[in-house]
Amino acid sequence: MASQTHISPLLFLAAIATAAAKLTPEWRVVSAAKGVTTRARIDATSQLCAVHGEAVVEASVAELMSVFGDLDQHGHWDATLVDAREWTGADGGTYVYQRFKQPWPVRDRELVLRRREWRRNQTVSVHFESVDEGTPVAPGAVRTLAHTVWWNFTAVSETETLISHYSCVDPGGAIPAWARDLAVQRWCQSQILALVDTARRLGLRPVPAFASWGAPR
């Protein structure tokens, strides 16, 4: 996922209470807490806030992918996810729809994404981008545009994974730019930590395709 672009009540209130620092075209560290380093910058093409989070976590790639790679589990990862589905397009590509509940008075956010995945050198890379393939906007929702979203999972060992996550999205609607930027910065860290916590909590069967990743050679 998946890549979620919701703004939780906690993040929304924090954004209102805190003045966002000025962003520049250069990466700068905006947070280094709980093992996750988050950097942000202004994307030169879209002029949106782009964020990048990175952490080495105590969970295998196979364990993490049991949640990340299964859309049915994403509701456990993010409780604001109220609708999700995946299908194969006429071009043979994989497409994903997601809708996230927002705190009043913010309208729900939804995404329609093209999903691509690559596996190489003990790393699985999953990229998402918004597409207009004819899915109408749901009543009461705002279509979020994901310019670029990707997740990389690299096996450090059989029990550790380097997670690297990049996101540049336009949530749409009448959210002030400073509040949007601060929220997406904090959201990046929270999503990485929530994914690890969900994989541990659910204890699903590790994905066999990644079972030997990180083993000594």
d(CA 1, CA 120): 19
Q: Note the pLDDT of residue 31.
A: 87
Q: Note the pLDDT of residue 179.
A: 57
The number of residues in the chain equals: 217
Q: Is the pLDDT confidence value at 176 over 70?
A: no
In this prediction, residues 105-119 reach a mean pLDDT of: 95
Q: Identify whether the C-beta of residue 49 lies closer than 8 Å to the C-beta of residue 22.
A: no
Burial class (CB in 10 A: 0-12, 13-18, 19+), 180: buried
Q: What percent of the chain has pLDDT over 70?
A: 83
How much is the pTM? 0.86
Q: Is the pLDDT confidence value at 2 over 80?
A: no
Q: Identify whether the C-beta of residue 36 lies closer than 8 Å to the C-beta of residue 53.
A: yes
Highest-scoring range by mean pLDDT, 30-34, 143-147, 158-162: 158-162
In this prediction, residues 134-145 reach a mean pLDDT of: 93
Q: Is the pLDDT confidence value at 10 over 80?
A: no
Q: Which of 103-107, 170-174, 187-191 has the lowest mean pLDDT?
A: 170-174
- φ, ψ dihedrals at 148, nearest 5°: -150, 125
